[in-house]
Amino acid sequence: MASSSVRWCIGALVRWCVGALVRWCVGASVAAFDDLENGQRAQNFLFASERGIATAITSTTQATQGYLAKVASGFRRLLKTAKFKIAMACAGIATAAMFVPMDYRVTCDSELQPVFRRFIAAPFDAPLEECLVEPGDIVEANQLLALLDGRELRWELAGLRADLAKAVKEHNTHLSAQEFGEAAIARHEIDRLENRSALLAQRTQNLEIRSPIAGVIVAGNLKETEGVPLETGQSLFEVAPLDRMVVEVAIPEEDIWHVQPNMVLNLRLDALPSETVEATILRIYPRAELRDHENVFVAEAELDNSDKRLRPGMRGDAKVSTGSHFLGWNLFHKPVAYVVGWLGW
């Protein structure tokens, strides 16, 4: 109703202005007529057509209004619709929600690792006779893991003992003949053979490979290598304790500045999807690593595993709580930073 009144007032104002202009023009033109009667007739005709001319001009102006005026008119009609009012209310609620403070959590891939590992190596050169455990087996301290074949050691020991008896006999012969130089040389050979024999005897008594600690066999699948000669120092088994575990958290490179030591993380493992474990970040390594084709920083946290349910190599997702920020910042700070960097600002 208000808009109709406004349009009527504007139209009346335009008609009045046009009529006034026509009257002025008629008044000026009457003086140009020599015949007063003809001039009066022309004046009467223009006065009669004053309202029609103004109306025609107004209609023509409205019919030929510009594109922007049409858009403005359509927008004014849109403002009065119920859908627009509902949309504006929803937009206002969404905008207000963007300023609600919420905890910003960084989602990271995680993997369980033992606190430390003990590597068990071959003590000397010997063939592997039998392997008694496999990766994943839980072992106790001093438990037998494998046996080494000592036949070659016993054969060599028997030969050394024969050589030792011969060297002792030669030594005694040189002493009897008062050949002290040869006796001294024979004495050195006796010492060498005795030391070698003692070493081989000690090795034949240590053909059993035992676990130094209680834990789980992380690596060491030797079932298919029985009978293969082993070299001194060759790694045979890797044993890790199970009472505590370390969570390795792969923090994405773009979120490393938001994560600090002593922050709390919630861990959900694929093997235990219904449970959430809470831990505290102890350290963050300063150098990035390439994992699964992504550049990440590795953080560590320790977990208690007194129930022995956790195993090295288990994977899951960890969410690190970094503090409260506006919801809008949580949702859009990464896209905004990308756009700003892309624009070079």
Domain 120-239 has CATH 2.40.50.100: yes
C-alpha distances in angstroms, 260 versus 103, 214, 257, 282, 337?
A: 15, 34, 8, 9, 21
In this predicted structure, the answer to whether residue 298 has a pLDDT above a threshold of 90 is yes
pLDDT tier, 30 (very low <50, low <70, confident <90, very high otherwise)? very low
Cβ-based burial of 269 (10 A; exposed 0-12, middle 13-18, buried ≥19):
buried
Q: How many helices (H) and strands (E) does the chain have?
A: 8, 15
Which tokens belong to 246? 């370390």
What's the pLDDT at 48?
A: 61
pLDDT for 138-184, tens place per residue? 899 999 999 999 888 888 888 888 888 888 888 888 778 778 788 88
In this predicted structure, the answer to whether residue 268 has a pLDDT above a threshold of 90 is yes
Separation of alpha carbons 297 and 260, rounded Å: 12
What's the pLDDT at 68?
A: 61
| Most confident option among 12-16, 61-65, 128-132 | 128-132
Class of domain 105-115+242-343 as given by CATH: mainly beta
The whole-model pTM stands at 0.59
In this predicted structure, the answer to whether residue 135 has a pLDDT above a threshold of 70 is yes
Asked if the domains at 105-115+242-343 and 120-239 fall in one CATH topology, the answer is no
In this predicted structure, the answer to whether residue 303 has a pLDDT above a threshold of 80 is yes
Q: Which helix (H) or strand (E) holds 114?
A: strand 101-114
Domain borders along the chain are 2-80, 105-115+242-343, 120-239
What's the pLDDT at 79?
A: 72
Separation of alpha carbons 62 and 52, rounded Å: 15
Above pLDDT 70, what percent of the chain?
79
In this predicted structure, the answer to whether residue 42 has a pLDDT above a threshold of 80 is no
